[in-house]
Chains A and B, each alone.
Chain A
Amino acid sequence: MNRDTMTWTIIFAIGLALILIRIVTSGGLFGKAYVKAVPREYAQVAAPGEDENWIDVTSEEALDYDLTQIPADERITWTSYNQTHPIDYANAMAADPNQSVYQFSFWRTFGIWLSAFFTLAIFSFLYKDNPFYKIAESVVVGVSAAYWMVVGFWSVIIPNLFGKIYPESVQSWAMPGLTGESAKQDLWYLIPLILGVMLLWRLAPKGAWIARWPLAFIIGTTAGMRLMGFLHGDFISQIRNSITSIYVKTAQIAADGTPLLDAAGLPVMGFDFWESLRSIIIIIGVLSCLVYFFFSFEHKGIVGKAAKLGIWFLMITFGAAFGFTVMGRIALLAIRLEFLFDDWLWLLDPSGKRLADTVGLLMQSFPMLT
């Protein structure tokens, strides 16, 4: 057995041993999901002079109608299964062991275990590349691509393209709610449809060049729009924002936190050292960084010193960006570990979902740990 195989074997053995210990200590009570069965009933009603409408028979609106007169074929009933906390299930079972409102959910439980498996599979890459990581990575890519495609089809192509060209047809088979102004036919939308078909022509064995026309349209409009966005939002606005006073006066605040007012009732303005310093740093930072990127002169003498100062400002910016990135990544690690400890292993219970958490019980038993 080589070193890698032995390491993997030990890691798996430790992992399995920990899960077995958890099973034994918890009596198998972890990594489970529960649901609450909620019966729903809607009835078709019509007020005088109004169209027929479906209403929830338990809503306040239903009190306006005599629902006993509505026949069974104008009613719809079904059961919603809403995820609930284990504590609700435990309380319901304690009150009535034969109740069926709160139930164990096999598929949601399976989902929790699948999530735990994929989380650990992704973490395993930190040791080295392996088949578990590859499986998890492939599933993420595949599911994401499929999700984007389906959501894009139902939330954009159907309502915003076919819903404009064939509103009646779309309303009859896909979107019953497409009514009013939104349901007016607009044949101008045939142009994007034709451009879309031309774009897909790239997949055809002949005439792939046809796809260049809509592509040119996309590139042209995107470039124009982004140029204006950056010009207006970044270039011009940032120049304007950099032109600041280095002697800043702000409204003076009294000791009790209220603004100081003069005899005329106007706020008393005074020199604000920190705001002035902030403005000076911004101006020096902008100018020195601009000098650093100014390559028409050799970086010597005063230009060289300003450029060196610019490098310092840039380095501090990169450091701040790195710090923020670290904070973000740690937050992502924290939520995955919270999922493993909370939803899967039930070691802790920060949201009060269960009767008690294992770590909490341990802390109570050994107060010196706290």
Chain B
Amino acid sequence: MYEFLKNLDRRWVFLLMLLSVAVPILLNARFPEKPTGLARAVFNEIEKLNEGDPVLLAFDFDPASEGELGPMATAFVRHCAEKKLKMYFMSLWPVGPRMVEDALDRVVRPDFPDLKYGEDWVQLGYKSGYEAVIKVIVTDLKQLYTTDRFGASIDSIPLMADIQSVQDFSLVINISAGYAGTKEWVQYASTPYPDIILVAGCTGVQAPLLYPYIPEQLPGLLGAIKGAAEYEMLVLDKYGARDENGELDEPGKYFEGIRRMGPQLIAHVLMILLIITGNIIFFIERNREGSS
């Protein structure tokens, strides 16, 4: 057994990992989610807002991170739409506007058809320049955004009439997959201008780097798919439709984060077993070398 495990081809590990993710997906395995403080903080920051308050949603991610960030993007847009907030979408990533369109196709267009472009939401689109864009728009948004994503003059959009800079938004929601993203929003928006309230959702790789900003510079953070699942649960608890038995009766698109936690659990158990096995083999080998 020792020799078998010691010389195990890594491709067997890949196959085990594939099965540990694929089987729960096929069996639609779901586990209960209990929201933690950080997810509640994000939820409460949006709940505090009043109908008609302007919210800037910065989608700083691309299809490579869709699996982690797509569910929280859906939940954010739904929460804002349920609260009847005015939504302003922008991106520091070139593919970001496409991710915004995906979220709108999933939430606003089918489930909130009364929300009108230019009156309830607007797509400002992408601007290159990374943190320089944030640095400019925190004081003068219209200097960079002269038109919306579709080429219409920014002055002709009713929703933009009262917006001069990022400081005019009641809340900034950032969904970040890396540079430029939440770190830059903290450094150039919420830190120098404490009136800008920033909450964020980020990939797992980024999350440990952003924890030091909590809570002073970043009141709430959704870390990876786990954070998304917790936030989804909070939104569904408050706004989800229920059947006659009191069970949630919502389409699958609002459960994506919760659904993806099933494979997470099984894959993490496998990962822990592999780490323990690897360590046992290491210590056995060291003992044998020592005794020889």
Pair B25/A338 contact, Cβ less than 8 Å:
yes
**A202 surroundings in chain B (CB, below 8 A):** none
Tell me how far the C-beta of B8 lies from the nearest C-beta in chain A, rounded to whole angstroms: 15
Pair A177/B94 contact, Cβ less than 8 Å:
no
Task: Report A137-154 CB contacts with B as 1/0, cut-off 8 Å.
Answer: 000000000011001100
Given A230-B187, A335-B66, A352-B251: A151 touches B126 (CB 8 Å cut-off): yes
**A351 surroundings in chain B (CB, below 8 A):** 251-253
Pair A348/B267 contact, Cβ less than 8 Å:
no
Pair B132/A225 contact, Cβ less than 8 Å:
yes
A352 to B28 CA separation, bound complex (whole angstroms): 13
Pair B153/A182 contact, Cβ less than 8 Å:
yes
Task: Report B153-197 CB contacts with A as 1/0, cut-off 8 Å.
Answer: 111100000000000000000000000000010111001100000
Contact residues of A between 160 and 175, Cβ < 8 Å to B: 160, 163, 174-175
**A23 surroundings in chain B (CB, below 8 A):** none
Tell me how far the C-beta of B14 lies from the nearest C-beta in chain A, rounded to whole angstroms: 5
Q: Does A179 contact B (CB under 8 A)?
A: yes
Secondary structure dominating the interface of A = helix
A348 to B253 CA separation, bound complex (whole angstroms): 14
**B94 surroundings in chain A (CB, below 8 A):** 147-148, 151-152, 155
Residue on B nearest A234 in the bound complex, by CB: B187
Pair B67/A179 contact, Cβ less than 8 Å:
no
**B68 surroundings in chain A (CB, below 8 A):** 328, 331-332
Residue on A nearest B185 in the bound complex, by CB: A233
Given A181-B142, A225-B135: A341 touches B128 (CB 8 Å cut-off): no
A160 to B267 CA separation, bound complex (whole angstroms): 47
**B267 surroundings in chain A (CB, below 8 A):** 326, 330, 333
Pair B135/A335 contact, Cβ less than 8 Å:
no
**B253 surroundings in chain A (CB, below 8 A):** 351
Pair B204/A327 contact, Cβ less than 8 Å:
yes
Set A240, A241, A359: member contacting B26, Cβ < 8 A: A359
Contact residues of B between 60 and 108, Cβ < 8 Å to A: 64-68, 70, 94-95
Tell me how far the C-beta of B21 lies from the nearest C-beta in chain A, rounded to whole angstroms: 5
- Number of A residues near B (Cβ < 8 Å) is 60
Pair A233/B216 contact, Cβ less than 8 Å:
no
Tell me how far the C-beta of B292 lies from the nearest C-beta in chain A, rounded to whole angstroms: 30
Residue on B nearest A359 in the bound complex, by CB: B26
Pair B151/A147 contact, Cβ less than 8 Å:
no
Pair A232/B191 contact, Cβ less than 8 Å:
yes
A326 to B212 CA separation, bound complex (whole angstroms): 21
**B155 surroundings in chain A (CB, below 8 A):** 179-182
Task: Report B203-232 CB contacts with A as 1/0, cut-off 8 Å.
Answer: 111011000110011000001111000000
Contact residues of B between 87 and 140, Cβ < 8 Å to A: 94-95, 125-129, 131-132, 135
A27 to B264 CA separation, bound complex (whole angstroms): 33
Set B27, B125, B150, B226: member contacting A359, Cβ < 8 A: B27
Set B14, B126, B186, B217: member contacting A155, Cβ < 8 A: B126
Pair B147/A335 contact, Cβ less than 8 Å:
no
Q: Does A309 contact B (CB under 8 A)?
A: no
A193 to B187 CA separation, bound complex (whole angstroms): 29
**A127 surroundings in chain B (CB, below 8 A):** 11
Pair A177/B25 contact, Cβ less than 8 Å:
no
Given A156-B128, A330-B263: A317 touches B147 (CB 8 Å cut-off): no
A217 to B66 CA separation, bound complex (whole angstroms): 36
Given A328-B203, A330-B21, A333-B21: A350 touches B28 (CB 8 Å cut-off): yes
Pair A337/B153 contact, Cβ less than 8 Å:
no
Tell me how far the C-beta of B64 lies from the nearest C-beta in chain A, rounded to whole angstroms: 8
A181 to B140 CA separation, bound complex (whole angstroms): 14
Chain A residues at the B interface, C-beta cutoff of 8 Å: 126-127, 147-148, 151-152, 155-156, 159-160, 163, 174-183, 225-226, 229-230, 232-234, 237-238, 240-241, 317, 320-321, 324-338, 341, 347-348, 350-352, 359, 363, 369-370
8 pairs of residues in contact across A and B, judged by CB atoms under 8 Å: A156-B129, A241-B212, A324-B205, A330-B263, A331-B224, A341-B22, A350-B252, A351-B252
User: Which are the 5 A-B pairs with shortest beta-carbon distances?
Assistant: A335-B67, A328-B204, A233-B187, A182-B146, A324-B204
Beyond the given A163-B147, A327-B226, please list 10 additional residue pairs across the A-B interface where CB-CB is below 8 A. Answer: A126-B14, A225-B131, A241-B212, A325-B204, A327-B204, A327-B268, A328-B224, A331-B204, A338-B260, A350-B252
